[in-house]
Amino acid sequence: MRALTGAKWAVVSALLLALAASAGEAASKPRNVLILPYAPVDLGRDEQWIGEGIAQSLMLSLVNVPGLVQIERERVRALPQPEAWDETAATAAAKKLGADLALFGEVKRTGTDLIVQPRFLDVRGDKAEKGALDTFAVPDGQLLDRLRSLPGAYLKAMKVPASDAELARAQKWAAPTGVARAFELYVRGRHASYRGTQDASEAAVEFLSRAIEADPQFVAAQYALGVVHQNLGNRWKAAAQFRASAQLDPTFAEPYKALGDLYLTAPRRLFEEAIKAYAKAIELRPFYAEAHVGLGDALAAKGDVDQAVSAYQKGLEFNPMNAKVHVSLGKIYYSEKGLYYESVTAYKKAIDLDPTYLDARMGLAEVYEDKGLYKEAIEEYHKVVDADAKNTGALYNLALVYEKVDPKEAINLWERYISLAGSQPSEKDWVDVARLHLKKLKQQQGN
């Protein structure tokens, strides 16, 4: 089995069980918030982006409020996409994704003004209580100025506590640039990046690069461009953009966390650098759950078990619905302790929280494969490949499993893997092994 890149995991099982149980016992449970694009009612084609723009403003601002955990837009993309996110669509999405709050609304034009109607849902079990803020007009050219007050109005209406400092930071990030054209290009770039295809990512690079040209001090655009480069596999370009973002605003936590991810997955596994980067992100935003999880992974990779557990505990404290922590626990349970049931339960919990999180399905499939449960392993590997046809790790593992149950299909999968991975330098050693498997299978089949 081709294992996921990892490190030595070690921890006492009882401590892990206590850690998992502690997630729901935090004194003040954070609330999951789903932020959706506003419906652009009767706006012309050149103004359709404004609905997404309001959502982007809210996403950038409300990440600074410790009581809220944002649901990633990538998970929204996996849902059926309505023509517009109205109350019905927002309610369905909120329930599907486990949101406690959903923010949406409408924006339309009346004469020279934009009219914005902010709405929200407070979801409690099967019930969703509707809420609406005061409608406000936006004179031509004043969108960014008017967006500054929107986060505070939402927080007040939803009764989400925030300190004066948190409100000030949210207000600042609601208008991340003073250049209207740069903001429009940024929004178009972010929207393109959500489509997830190669062409869409390249379009996102173009939009975000132009946004930075329009405003070289646009911190969020510098960071967003780094994210797209990272998704495209351009690690050096991504690192350069993250560093540029951090230099422009040393108080911006996201680029430090992103650099930590790059260091942790670097070929030479730069654990110390990763730990420093994650620690910096946490220093800037103590409730940054993803940074705590990254720190836990880096510490676990070094063998610092107690500190890793502490980091995971913090991650769960600030985001009890964090799927990545459960994946980390799944690895520990099985690879170190041999706890099959606990491992499968952890991976399934991660999948339940985020069905699009492919690392969870990969981990679960590998446990099944190792236990000889080939049917179950094949099912999970297929789900990964169906979601990401270019996932070389899943294809490789799938071919290995099929060797045990269907050699002819294994031949097809090895050929598919070699065709996909053959031109990738990072896959060279694996491709060489795959060719040996393919040759052996063809000889056995008399080909």
- Higher local confidence (pLDDT), 26 or 82: 82
The mean-pLDDT minimum among 5-9, 36-40, 77-81, 144-148 falls in 5-9
Q: Residue 8 domain-assigned? A: no
Residues 6 or more apart from 235 whose CB is under 8 A from it?
A: 229, 262, 266
Tell me what pLDDT residue 423 has.
Answer: 86
Residues 212 and 222 in one domain: yes
Instruction: With CA atoms as reference, report the closest residue to 336 among 369, 303, 362, 360.
Output: 303
Q: Residue 114 domain-assigned? A: yes
**H/E segment holding residue 113:** strand 113-124
Q: Residue 254: CA atoms inside 13 Å, Cβ hemisphere, count?
A: 22
Residues 165 and 193 in one domain: no
Alpha carbons 104 and 86: distance in angstroms, whole number = 7
Whether the pLDDT of residue 247 is over 60: the answer is yes
For position 190, which CATH number holds? 1.25.40.10
**H/E segment holding residue 66:** none
Residues 114 and 135 in one domain: yes
User: What confidence tier does 201 reach under pLDDT thresholds 50, 70, 90?
Assistant: very high
For position 103, which CATH number holds? 3.40.50.10070
SS3 251: coil
Whether the pLDDT of residue 305 is over 80: the answer is no
Residues 155 and 68 in one domain: yes
Question: Sign of the C-alpha dihedral, residues 317, 257, 168, 40?
Answer: negative
Alpha carbons 245 and 251: distance in angstroms, whole number = 10
Q: Residue 196 domain-assigned? A: yes
Percent of residues, the chain, with pLDDT higher than 90? 71
Residues 190 and 140 in one domain: no
Tell me what pLDDT residue 338 has.
Answer: 81
Mean of all residue pLDDT scores within the chain: 90
Q: Residue 272 domain-assigned? A: no
SS3 344: helix
Alpha carbons 220 and 246: distance in angstroms, whole number = 10
Instruction: With CA atoms as reference, report the closest residue to 291 among 304, 302, 275, 272.
Output: 275
User: What confidence tier does 176 reach under pLDDT thresholds 50, 70, 90?
Assistant: very high
The dihedrals phi and psi of 437, each to the nearest 5 degrees, come to -60, -45
Alpha carbons 202 and 6: distance in angstroms, whole number = 30
Mean pLDDT, residues 53-57: 98
Instruction: Give pLDDT tens digits for 253-298.
Output: 999 999 999 999 888 889 999 999 999 999 999 999 999 999 998 9
Mean pLDDT, residues 104-114: 94
The mean-pLDDT minimum among 110-124, 205-219, 227-241, 416-430 falls in 416-430
The mean-pLDDT minimum among 12-26, 306-320, 358-372 falls in 12-26
- DSSP annotation of 287 reads T
Total number of domains constituting the chain: 3
User: What confidence tier does 21 reach under pLDDT thresholds 50, 70, 90?
Assistant: very low
Structure tokens at 394: 């899943």
Whether the pLDDT of residue 25 is over 60: the answer is no
Mean pLDDT, residues 313-331: 86
Mean pLDDT, residues 98-127: 94
User: What confidence tier does 23 reach under pLDDT thresholds 50, 70, 90?
Assistant: very low
Read off the amino acid at residue 83: E
Instruction: Give pLDDT tens digits for 146-166.
Output: 999 999 999 999 999 999 999
Residues 85 and 74 in one domain: yes
Residue-range definition of the domain harbouring residue 187:
177-252
Tell me what pLDDT residue 322 has.
Answer: 85
Tell me what pLDDT residue 28 has.
Answer: 67
Tell me what pLDDT residue 336 has.
Answer: 67
Percent of residues, the chain, with pLDDT higher than 70? 93
Reported in sequence order, the residue ranges of 27-94 that DSSP labels E, i.e. its strands, are: 31-35, 39-41, 68-70
Residues 47 and 166 in one domain: yes
The dihedrals phi and psi of 48, each to the nearest 5 degrees, come to -60, -30
Structure tokens at 5: 């890149």
Tell me what pLDDT residue 24 has.
Answer: 43
**H/E segment holding residue 307:** helix 305-318
Alpha carbons 395 and 283: distance in angstroms, whole number = 40
